[in-house]
A = this chain, B = another copy of it.
Amino acid sequence: MFNCSTRIRVRYGETDKMGVAHHGAMVTWLEVGRVEWCRAVGVPYSEVEAAGFNMAVAELTVRYMKPIFFDEKITIETVAEKFTARLARFSYRIFNSKQELAVVGSTRHLVVGKTLIRTSLSPELMTRFRRVLEQDA
């Protein structure tokens, strides 16, 4: 399956008094991975929103296996496990700067319109997403 790889640096403000990156900051990194996945498949998330849709987070799971430290250059790998006009499921793996697997996560999303009511992505957007998704199959 298409695996989008993104590299970012751990920011100082993302650490906590334990001396490591805060577990909440890492939730934000999954989002960074997801946004880059959208761009990589050719549909920037800003275009999804401009077309009147949001992919609201309905569920989140994260397993923290190794601490991640300030200023490490980490890698976020993002895969769409499922992607339909009405819902999506992504899985993520975050590697620390030594390429060790540090975090594993997943998110489930529901497509909603501007009023937060469930809806379906437009056929036009789905055609664009499918170009990559079907190469996967």
A18 CA / B114 CA spacing, docked (Å):
8
If A60-B62, A63-B59 touch, whether A31 touches B17 (CB-CB below 8 Å) is no
User: Given the complex, which residues of B lie within 8 Å of A67, measured CB to CB?
Assistant: 56, 116
Looking at A15, A24, A27, A44, which has the most chain B CB atoms within 10 Å of its CB? A24
Contacts of A13 in B (CB 8 A): 16, 22, 24, 28, 31
Give the complex CA separation of A70 and B49 in angstroms: 11
State the oligomeric state as a number of copies: 4
Indicate whether A19 reaches chain B with its CB closer than 8 angstroms.
yes
Minimum distance in angstroms from A108 CB to a CB of chain B: 9
Q: Which chain B residue shows the least CB distance to A110?
A: B64
A58 contacts B by Cβ under 8 Å? yes
Contacts of A64 in B (CB 8 A): 56-60
A122 beta carbon closer than 8 Å to chain B: no
Sorted nearest first, the 5 A-B pairs with minimum C-beta distance are A15-B17, A23-B57, A24-B27, A60-B62, A61-B61
A selection of 21 A-B contacts at a CB cut-off of 8 Å is A11-B28, A11-B32, A12-B16, A12-B17, A12-B35, A13-B16, A13-B22, A17-B17, A18-B54, A18-B56, A24-B24, A24-B31, A27-B27, A44-B71, A45-B71, A56-B67, A58-B63, A59-B61, A59-B64, A61-B61, A61-B62
